[in-house]
Amino acid sequence: MPGAIHAEGLVKTFGEVRALDGVDLDVPEGTVLGLLGPNGAGKTTAVRVLTTLLEPDAGTAVVAGIDVCENPTAVRRSIGLSGQFAAVDEYLTGRENLRMVGRLYQMPAREAKRRADELLERFDLAHAGDRTAKTYSGGMRRRLDLAAALVVRPPVMFMDEPTTGLDPRNRQSLWEVIEDLVAGGTTLLLTTQYLEEADRLAHDIAVVDHGRVIARGTSDQLKARTGGERIEVVVHDPAHIPVARAVLDRHGHTGGGEGCTVEQHTRKLTVPVTGGAKLLAEVIRELDAEGIEIDDIGLRRPTLDDVFISLTGHATEPGDEPAAGTAGGAAHDAATGAGGTGTEEDDR
Protein backbone atom coordinates (compact mmCIF):
# COMPACT_ATOMS: atom_id res chain seq x y z
CA MET A 1 0.00 0.00 0.00
CA PRO A 2 1.44 3.40 -0.93
CA GLY A 3 2.19 5.74 1.96
CA ALA A 4 0.48 8.94 3.03
CA ILE A 5 2.97 10.72 0.79
CA HIS A 6 4.05 8.92 -2.33
CA ALA A 7 5.98 10.42 -5.22
CA GLU A 8 7.48 8.81 -8.29
CA GLY A 9 9.90 10.29 -10.76
CA LEU A 10 9.27 13.96 -9.91
CA VAL A 11 11.03 16.31 -12.29
CA LYS A 12 10.98 20.09 -12.18
CA THR A 13 13.28 22.34 -14.12
CA PHE A 14 13.74 26.09 -13.86
CA GLY A 15 15.50 27.13 -17.03
CA GLU A 16 18.81 25.27 -17.00
CA VAL A 17 18.53 24.05 -13.43
CA ARG A 18 16.98 20.66 -12.77
CA ALA A 19 15.64 21.41 -9.29
CA LEU A 20 14.09 17.94 -9.13
CA ASP A 21 15.72 15.28 -11.26
CA GLY A 22 13.59 12.19 -10.77
CA VAL A 23 12.71 12.12 -7.10
CA ASP A 24 10.95 9.08 -5.58
CA LEU A 25 9.60 9.33 -2.05
CA ASP A 26 7.39 7.21 0.14
CA VAL A 27 6.29 8.15 3.63
CA PRO A 28 4.17 5.51 5.39
CA GLU A 29 1.23 6.82 7.36
CA GLY A 30 2.12 8.11 10.82
CA THR A 31 5.86 8.31 10.16
CA VAL A 32 8.32 11.15 9.64
CA LEU A 33 10.57 11.51 6.63
CA GLY A 34 13.43 13.95 6.88
CA LEU A 35 14.63 15.42 3.59
CA LEU A 36 18.22 16.32 4.28
CA GLY A 37 20.36 18.43 2.00
CA PRO A 38 21.99 21.80 1.48
CA ASN A 39 20.12 24.83 0.17
CA GLY A 40 19.49 24.48 -3.52
CA ALA A 41 19.40 20.68 -3.33
CA GLY A 42 15.73 20.63 -4.27
CA LYS A 43 14.12 20.14 -0.86
CA THR A 44 11.89 23.19 -1.05
CA THR A 45 10.92 22.43 -4.64
CA ALA A 46 9.86 18.95 -3.56
CA VAL A 47 7.73 20.40 -0.77
CA ARG A 48 6.21 22.93 -3.16
CA VAL A 49 5.22 20.20 -5.60
CA LEU A 50 3.74 18.00 -2.87
CA THR A 51 1.75 20.89 -1.40
CA THR A 52 0.26 21.83 -4.80
CA LEU A 53 2.17 25.12 -5.04
CA LEU A 54 4.10 23.98 -8.08
CA GLU A 55 3.21 21.62 -10.91
CA PRO A 56 5.90 19.06 -11.71
CA ASP A 57 7.17 18.74 -15.29
CA ALA A 58 7.00 14.97 -14.96
CA GLY A 59 6.20 12.32 -12.40
CA THR A 60 3.30 11.69 -10.07
CA ALA A 61 2.64 12.57 -6.48
CA VAL A 62 -0.13 11.28 -4.24
CA VAL A 63 -0.76 12.90 -0.87
CA ALA A 64 -3.32 11.48 1.59
CA GLY A 65 -4.49 9.22 -1.20
CA ILE A 66 -5.18 12.08 -3.62
CA ASP A 67 -3.28 12.92 -6.79
CA VAL A 68 -1.64 16.32 -6.39
CA CYS A 69 -1.98 17.34 -10.03
CA GLU A 70 -5.46 15.98 -10.61
CA ASN A 71 -7.22 17.29 -7.54
CA PRO A 72 -5.12 19.96 -5.82
CA THR A 73 -8.07 21.40 -3.89
CA ALA A 74 -8.82 18.07 -2.21
CA VAL A 75 -5.12 17.72 -1.31
CA ARG A 76 -5.16 21.19 0.25
CA ARG A 77 -7.98 20.12 2.57
CA SER A 78 -5.79 17.38 4.00
CA ILE A 79 -2.44 19.08 4.44
CA GLY A 80 -0.82 21.67 6.64
CA LEU A 81 2.21 23.61 5.43
CA SER A 82 4.73 25.44 7.52
CA GLY A 83 7.12 27.08 5.10
CA GLN A 84 10.66 28.36 5.37
CA PHE A 85 9.54 31.77 6.57
CA ALA A 86 6.98 32.28 9.28
CA ALA A 87 4.07 33.10 7.00
CA VAL A 88 1.91 35.08 9.35
CA ASP A 89 0.44 38.53 8.88
CA GLU A 90 2.44 40.66 11.26
CA TYR A 91 -0.22 43.36 11.54
CA LEU A 92 -2.82 40.83 12.67
CA THR A 93 -2.88 39.46 16.20
CA GLY A 94 -2.04 35.82 16.79
CA ARG A 95 -5.72 35.09 17.30
CA GLU A 96 -6.77 36.92 14.13
CA ASN A 97 -4.16 35.06 12.10
CA LEU A 98 -5.42 31.68 13.24
CA ARG A 99 -9.08 32.58 12.77
CA MET A 100 -8.40 33.79 9.26
CA VAL A 101 -6.64 30.54 8.37
CA GLY A 102 -9.50 28.55 9.92
CA ARG A 103 -12.04 30.45 7.84
CA LEU A 104 -9.99 29.86 4.71
CA TYR A 105 -9.95 26.14 5.53
CA GLN A 106 -13.73 26.58 5.25
CA MET A 107 -14.40 26.13 8.95
CA PRO A 108 -17.54 27.80 10.32
CA ALA A 109 -16.71 31.08 12.09
CA ARG A 110 -17.49 29.78 15.54
CA GLU A 111 -15.37 26.69 15.12
CA ALA A 112 -12.48 28.73 13.71
CA LYS A 113 -12.67 30.95 16.77
CA ARG A 114 -12.71 28.03 19.19
CA ARG A 115 -9.84 26.32 17.40
CA ALA A 116 -7.77 29.52 17.43
CA ASP A 117 -8.11 29.79 21.21
CA GLU A 118 -7.23 26.13 21.61
CA LEU A 119 -4.09 26.43 19.48
CA LEU A 120 -2.90 29.60 21.21
CA GLU A 121 -3.17 27.73 24.48
CA ARG A 122 -1.35 24.69 23.23
CA PHE A 123 1.49 26.66 21.63
CA ASP A 124 2.07 28.77 24.69
CA LEU A 125 0.85 31.92 22.95
CA ALA A 126 -2.35 32.55 24.90
CA HIS A 127 -0.79 35.50 26.74
CA ALA A 128 0.17 37.08 23.41
CA GLY A 129 -2.94 36.11 21.47
CA ASP A 130 -4.24 39.68 21.23
CA ARG A 131 -0.95 41.29 20.34
CA THR A 132 0.01 41.80 16.72
CA ALA A 133 2.47 39.21 15.42
CA LYS A 134 4.88 42.08 14.73
CA THR A 135 5.63 42.18 18.46
CA TYR A 136 6.43 38.44 18.60
CA SER A 137 9.93 37.01 18.92
CA GLY A 138 11.27 34.74 16.17
CA GLY A 139 10.38 31.63 18.16
CA MET A 140 6.83 32.86 18.82
CA ARG A 141 6.30 33.61 15.15
CA ARG A 142 7.45 30.12 14.26
CA ARG A 143 5.05 28.64 16.76
CA LEU A 144 2.22 30.77 15.41
CA ASP A 145 3.10 29.66 11.89
CA LEU A 146 3.07 26.03 12.96
CA ALA A 147 -0.24 26.54 14.76
CA ALA A 148 -1.67 27.99 11.54
CA ALA A 149 -0.60 24.83 9.72
CA LEU A 150 -2.44 22.73 12.31
CA VAL A 151 -5.75 24.53 12.29
CA VAL A 152 -7.64 21.58 10.78
CA ARG A 153 -5.55 18.80 12.39
CA PRO A 154 -4.38 17.76 8.95
CA PRO A 155 -3.41 14.10 8.54
CA VAL A 156 -0.35 15.09 6.49
CA MET A 157 2.05 17.88 7.43
CA PHE A 158 4.88 19.52 5.55
CA MET A 159 7.53 21.55 7.30
CA ASP A 160 10.21 23.29 5.29
CA GLU A 161 13.24 23.93 7.50
CA PRO A 162 11.11 24.56 10.57
CA THR A 163 13.96 25.58 12.86
CA THR A 164 16.27 27.50 10.54
CA GLY A 165 17.18 30.79 12.18
CA LEU A 166 15.99 29.79 15.65
CA ASP A 167 18.19 29.91 18.72
CA PRO A 168 18.92 26.56 20.42
CA ARG A 169 16.29 26.99 23.11
CA ASN A 170 13.50 27.76 20.65
CA ARG A 171 14.69 24.96 18.40
CA GLN A 172 14.42 22.57 21.31
CA SER A 173 10.90 23.65 22.19
CA LEU A 174 9.78 23.43 18.57
CA TRP A 175 11.17 19.91 18.37
CA GLU A 176 9.04 18.97 21.36
CA VAL A 177 5.95 20.34 19.65
CA ILE A 178 6.74 18.38 16.50
CA GLU A 179 7.31 15.19 18.50
CA ASP A 180 3.94 15.58 20.19
CA LEU A 181 2.33 16.09 16.84
CA VAL A 182 3.84 12.93 15.39
CA ALA A 183 2.90 10.96 18.48
CA GLY A 184 -0.69 11.97 17.67
CA GLY A 185 -0.46 10.08 14.38
CA THR A 186 0.32 12.83 11.87
CA THR A 187 2.40 11.93 8.84
CA LEU A 188 5.20 14.45 8.46
CA LEU A 189 7.63 15.39 5.75
CA LEU A 190 10.30 17.67 7.11
CA THR A 191 13.21 19.30 5.33
CA THR A 192 16.34 20.29 7.14
CA GLN A 193 19.97 21.15 6.72
CA TYR A 194 20.83 19.71 10.10
CA LEU A 195 21.55 16.04 10.56
CA GLU A 196 20.94 16.50 14.26
CA GLU A 197 17.40 17.62 13.56
CA ALA A 198 16.66 14.78 11.17
CA ASP A 199 18.27 12.43 13.68
CA ARG A 200 15.97 13.50 16.44
CA LEU A 201 12.69 13.81 14.55
CA ALA A 202 12.72 11.56 11.50
CA HIS A 203 12.12 7.83 11.25
CA ASP A 204 13.64 7.81 7.80
CA ILE A 205 15.99 10.18 6.12
CA ALA A 206 16.39 10.88 2.42
CA VAL A 207 19.55 12.75 1.51
CA VAL A 208 18.99 15.06 -1.44
CA ASP A 209 21.60 16.64 -3.66
CA HIS A 210 21.21 18.30 -7.05
CA GLY A 211 17.57 17.28 -7.29
CA ARG A 212 18.16 13.58 -6.62
CA VAL A 213 17.77 11.35 -3.60
CA ILE A 214 21.31 10.06 -3.18
CA ALA A 215 20.77 7.97 -0.07
CA ARG A 216 17.98 6.89 2.20
CA GLY A 217 17.72 5.02 5.43
CA THR A 218 17.44 5.52 9.14
CA SER A 219 19.68 7.92 10.92
CA ASP A 220 21.79 5.04 12.28
CA GLN A 221 22.22 3.54 8.84
CA LEU A 222 23.40 6.84 7.42
CA LYS A 223 25.76 7.43 10.30
CA ALA A 224 27.21 3.97 9.94
CA ARG A 225 27.96 4.76 6.31
CA THR A 226 29.59 7.97 7.37
CA GLY A 227 31.82 6.50 10.05
CA GLY A 228 30.05 7.17 13.32
CA GLU A 229 31.56 8.98 16.28
CA ARG A 230 35.23 9.66 16.69
CA ILE A 231 37.58 11.28 19.12
CA GLU A 232 39.95 13.93 17.80
CA VAL A 233 43.03 14.92 19.76
CA VAL A 234 45.60 17.60 18.99
CA VAL A 235 48.75 17.08 21.03
CA HIS A 236 51.09 19.92 21.87
CA ASP A 237 54.39 18.12 21.29
CA PRO A 238 54.88 16.06 18.10
CA ALA A 239 57.10 13.71 20.12
CA HIS A 240 54.02 12.60 22.10
CA ILE A 241 52.17 11.35 19.05
CA PRO A 242 53.22 7.67 19.37
CA VAL A 243 52.15 7.46 23.05
CA ALA A 244 48.89 9.24 22.38
CA ARG A 245 48.28 6.89 19.50
CA ALA A 246 48.72 3.90 21.74
CA VAL A 247 46.18 5.29 24.20
CA LEU A 248 43.65 5.98 21.47
CA ASP A 249 44.14 2.61 19.83
CA ARG A 250 43.21 0.93 23.10
CA HIS A 251 39.83 2.66 23.01
CA GLY A 252 39.06 2.76 19.32
CA HIS A 253 36.22 0.45 18.37
CA THR A 254 37.37 -2.63 16.55
CA GLY A 255 34.32 -3.24 14.39
CA GLY A 256 35.33 -1.17 11.40
CA GLY A 257 38.90 -2.41 11.50
CA GLU A 258 40.29 1.08 11.04
CA GLY A 259 42.43 2.29 13.89
CA CYS A 260 43.82 5.67 14.76
CA THR A 261 44.72 8.04 11.94
CA VAL A 262 47.39 10.68 12.37
CA GLU A 263 47.95 13.99 10.65
CA GLN A 264 51.59 14.73 11.43
CA HIS A 265 51.70 18.40 10.41
CA THR A 266 48.65 19.36 12.50
CA ARG A 267 49.54 16.91 15.31
CA LYS A 268 45.95 15.65 15.10
CA LEU A 269 44.94 12.08 15.92
CA THR A 270 41.50 10.72 15.08
CA VAL A 271 39.97 7.43 16.17
CA PRO A 272 36.49 6.02 15.63
CA VAL A 273 34.78 5.22 18.93
CA THR A 274 31.45 4.01 20.25
CA GLY A 275 31.58 5.04 23.91
CA GLY A 276 30.49 8.67 23.67
CA ALA A 277 31.27 11.26 26.33
CA LYS A 278 32.08 8.73 29.01
CA LEU A 279 34.85 7.31 26.89
CA LEU A 280 36.11 10.79 26.10
CA ALA A 281 36.54 11.48 29.83
CA GLU A 282 38.44 8.23 30.21
CA VAL A 283 40.76 9.05 27.31
CA ILE A 284 41.47 12.47 28.78
CA ARG A 285 42.38 10.93 32.12
CA GLU A 286 44.71 8.40 30.53
CA LEU A 287 46.43 10.96 28.32
CA ASP A 288 46.90 13.12 31.39
CA ALA A 289 48.33 10.19 33.33
CA GLU A 290 50.87 9.66 30.53
CA GLY A 291 51.86 13.31 30.90
CA ILE A 292 50.77 14.29 27.40
CA GLU A 293 49.96 17.95 26.92
CA ILE A 294 46.78 18.40 24.88
CA ASP A 295 46.00 21.46 22.76
CA ASP A 296 42.51 20.31 21.81
CA ILE A 297 40.32 17.29 22.25
CA GLY A 298 36.75 16.55 21.29
CA LEU A 299 34.13 14.00 20.48
CA ARG A 300 32.96 14.44 16.92
CA ARG A 301 29.76 13.04 15.50
CA PRO A 302 29.09 13.00 11.79
CA THR A 303 27.88 16.33 10.48
CA LEU A 304 25.97 17.00 7.31
CA ASP A 305 29.32 17.68 5.67
CA ASP A 306 30.63 14.27 6.72
CA VAL A 307 27.52 12.59 5.36
CA PHE A 308 27.94 14.49 2.14
CA ILE A 309 31.59 13.75 1.72
CA SER A 310 31.01 10.08 2.33
CA LEU A 311 27.93 9.86 0.10
CA THR A 312 28.94 12.05 -2.79
CA GLY A 313 32.66 12.35 -2.53
CA HIS A 314 32.29 16.11 -2.55
CA ALA A 315 31.77 18.60 0.21
CA THR A 316 28.91 21.05 0.28
CA GLU A 317 31.42 23.73 -0.59
CA PRO A 318 30.84 26.40 -3.20
CA GLY A 319 32.70 26.18 -6.46
CA ASP A 320 33.25 22.44 -6.58
CA GLU A 321 30.24 21.92 -8.80
CA PRO A 322 29.64 23.79 -12.01
CA ALA A 323 25.88 23.85 -11.33
CA ALA A 324 23.83 27.00 -11.85
CA GLY A 325 24.69 30.18 -10.00
CA THR A 326 21.84 29.95 -7.52
CA ALA A 327 22.70 26.41 -6.51
CA GLY A 328 26.35 27.38 -5.96
CA GLY A 329 25.46 30.34 -3.76
CA ALA A 330 23.00 28.25 -1.78
CA ALA A 331 25.54 25.50 -1.24
CA HIS A 332 27.78 28.04 0.41
CA ASP A 333 25.08 28.84 2.97
CA ALA A 334 24.62 25.16 3.64
CA ALA A 335 28.34 24.71 4.27
CA THR A 336 28.27 27.52 6.79
CA GLY A 337 25.22 26.04 8.50
CA ALA A 338 26.71 22.58 8.69
CA GLY A 339 29.96 24.00 10.04
CA GLY A 340 27.99 25.64 12.82
CA THR A 341 26.38 22.35 13.73
CA GLY A 342 29.78 20.70 13.86
CA THR A 343 31.07 23.24 16.32
CA GLU A 344 28.06 22.76 18.54
CA GLU A 345 28.66 19.04 18.61
CA ASP A 346 32.32 19.47 19.41
CA ASP A 347 31.47 21.59 22.38
CA ARG A 348 29.53 18.89 24.13
Partner 1 sequence: MSAIPRTAEATSAPQGRGGLAQSVTDSLTIAQRNLIRMVRIPEVLIFGLVQPIMFVVLFSYVFGGSIRIPGAGTSAQQYREFLMAGIFAQTVTFATAGASAGIAEDMHKGLVDRFRSLPMARGAVLTGRTIADLVQTALTLIVLAAVALIVGWRAHDGIWRALAGFGLLLLLGYAFTWIGALIGLSVRTPEAATSGGLIWLFPLTFISVAFVPSENMPAFLRHIAEWNPFSATVVACRDLFGNFPPHYRLPDAWPMQHPVLASVIWSLVIIAVFRVLSVRKYRSATV
Query: Could you list the residues that contact partner 1 (CB under 8 A)?
Result: 48, 51-55, 64, 73-74, 76-79, 81, 83-92, 96, 100-101, 103-107, 121-124, 132, 148, 152-155, 173, 176-177, 180-181, 183-186
For 55, how many CA atoms within 13 A lie in the half-sphere containing its CB? Answer: 5
Cβ 142 to partner 1 shortest distance, Å: 12
For residues 25 and 76, is the Cβ–Cβ distance under 8 A? Answer: no
The CB-of-184 to partner 1 minimum distance in angstroms stands at 5
Q: In terms of Cα–Cα distance, which of 178, 161, 152 is closest to 44? A: 161
Nearer of residues 156 and 208 to partner 1, judged by Cβ: 156
Q: How far is CA 214 from the centre of its chain?
A: 16
Amino acid residing at 280: L
Q: How many helices, marked H, and strands, marked E, lie in the chain?
A: 12, 14
Task: Provide the minimum distance between the beta carbon of 87 and partner 1 in the complex, in angstroms, as a whole number.
Answer: 4
CB of 112 to partner 1, least distance (A): 10
In the complex with partner 1, the residue whose CB is nearer, 52 or 226, is 52
Closer CB to partner 1, 185 or 340, in the complex: 185
**How far is it between the farthest Cα atoms of the chain?**
77
Choose between 62 and 222: whose C-beta lies nearer to partner 1.
Answer: 62
**Nearest residue (CB) to partner 1, 74 versus 309:** 74
Q: How far is the CB of 72 from partner 1 (least distance, A)?
A: 9
Helical ranges in the chain per DSSP H: 43-50, 72-77, 94-104, 109-122, 138-149, 168-183, 195-201, 219-226, 241-251, 276-289, 304-312, 325-347
